[in-house]
Amino acid sequence: MCAFHEWDGRRSVWAGLGLAIAVAIGFALYSYLGTLLFAIFLYYATRPLYRLLDRRVAHPNVTASITILLVVLPMLAVVGYAALAALRELDQFLAASDLEAYRSALEPYLSMARERDVGRLREALASDTGRSVTSALQQGIPAAFGPLSSIAGSVFGILARIFLMITFLFYLLRDDSKLRRWFSRSVDHDEDLVSFLEAVDDDLETIFVGNLAIVGVAAVIAAGTYLALNLFAPGGQVVATPVLLAFLIGIGTLIPAVGMKIVYVPYGLYLLVLSLAGPAPLWQPIAFFLLSFTVVDTVPDFFARSLLSARSGIHMGLVLLGYFLGTLAFGWYGLFLGPIVVVLAVHFAHRRFPPLASTLLAE
């Protein structure tokens, strides 16, 4: 009896230590939960490609790096380039319209930096009469470097999250088989638990691979549609950057409820403004909206998504609810957490709830 109590006390100590470690890790990851969930999504979405390459490349580090280079970095490059292109287009639009006042707020500082006009800088510092250059520096430098430091902090935060996401993804791809074997040994190869988690794992791969495939299908359909529109449109092209817009539309399919509309609706409104304020004919934004809604939005959403999700044992309506409700409940990272919760709930309801319920009723 004493031995049992001694052993039970030691087990409690080890369990407490494990709980403390888990709390510390959870506290460290809490601020980066969205980054971790995005890495998990990309892990499941790119795992088939990694395993395909792994059968041909002997080194797992090289295989994981190639997988990330082929899938993740192009997506980040497209989003980054699109952001720069959007800023450039916004600057040109404000310069060519009646909204110059919004652009002029930043123009003196931008032109001063572009021209590197030391005389204008010295004139700006000494413009207030009765103030010394030192006083102007004391007030001007913090005002100038405040926004710059804020921007630099934001950029550093984004780069840090991208680095963490790629790091998580790299080690998940490379060491997932080791994690599986470790967990299976730790639970003494419990058949019920292992089979439950394997079923969850398979369905998550099917759902997230389907999402990534829909990104590609939507991008290809959008690119073909807009290139054809430019080819057959009289009087010049309608979509200035059809391939870039198509890639953004593909990435936009990951957003629940709104989907790719978050990309093509603002662009269509931009074409409408150009048509109303300039020489462009009104049929161009109308044709763009019609093709975007009937071809680009309908085909991937109804046909491709249904075909790709048919391989999963989870009802498509539940998956869509997981995306929508997960985003409403948890924020942007609910886009990835919602489907995980749905898959866990469905398999628990099918596999574990009936025997638990029968046991409770029998008692």
DSSP of 157-195, one letter per residue? HHHHHHHHHHHHHHHHHHHHHHHHHHHHHHTTT-HHHHH
- pLDDT of 206 reads 86
Angle at 163 between CA 160 and CA 164, to 5 degrees: 85
Verify that 180 and 193 share a domain, yes or no: no
Q: Are residues 41 and 59 in the same domain?
A: yes
Q: At which of 145, 171, 186 does a domain end? A: 186
Q: What confidence score (pLDDT) does residue 34 get?
A: 85
Q: Which of 96, 16, 54, 41 is nearest to 251 (CA)?
A: 41
pLDDT at 314: 75
Cβ atoms 271, 285 nearer than 8 A: yes
What is the model's pLDDT at position 43? Answer: 92
Handedness of CA 125, 128, 134, 135 (dihedral sign): negative
Q: Is residue 22 part of a domain?
A: no
The answer to whether residues 56 and 144 belong to one domain is yes
State whether 55 and 182 are in the same domain.
Answer: yes
Output the pLDDT for position 301.
66
| The pLDDT value given to residue 257 | 64
Report how far residue 335's alpha carbon sits from residue 181's, in angstroms, rounded to the nearest whole number: 29
Are 196 and 182 part of one and the same domain?
no
16 falls within a domain: no
Instruction: Say if residue 69 is in the same domain as residue 152.
Output: yes
Q: What is the pLDDT of residue 275?
A: 84
How far is it, in rounded angstroms, from Cα 359 to Cα 363? 6
| One domain for residues 194 and 180 | no
The reported pLDDT for the residue numbered 171 is 92
Which residue type does 200 have? V
Domain boundary among 165, 186, 207: 186
| One domain, residues 60 and 174 | yes
Which residue positions in the chain have pLDDT lower than 50? 1-4, 102, 105-119, 121-122, 124-126, 128-134, 136-138, 140-141, 144
Domain limit, last residue, from 186, 221, 241 = 186
Between CA 188 and CA 166 the distance in angstroms is 32
Task: Judge if 241 and 299 occupy the same domain.
Answer: yes
Domain shared by 104 and 167, yes or no:
yes
What is residue 158's predicted lDDT score, i.e. its pLDDT? 79
Cα 113 → chain centroid: 33
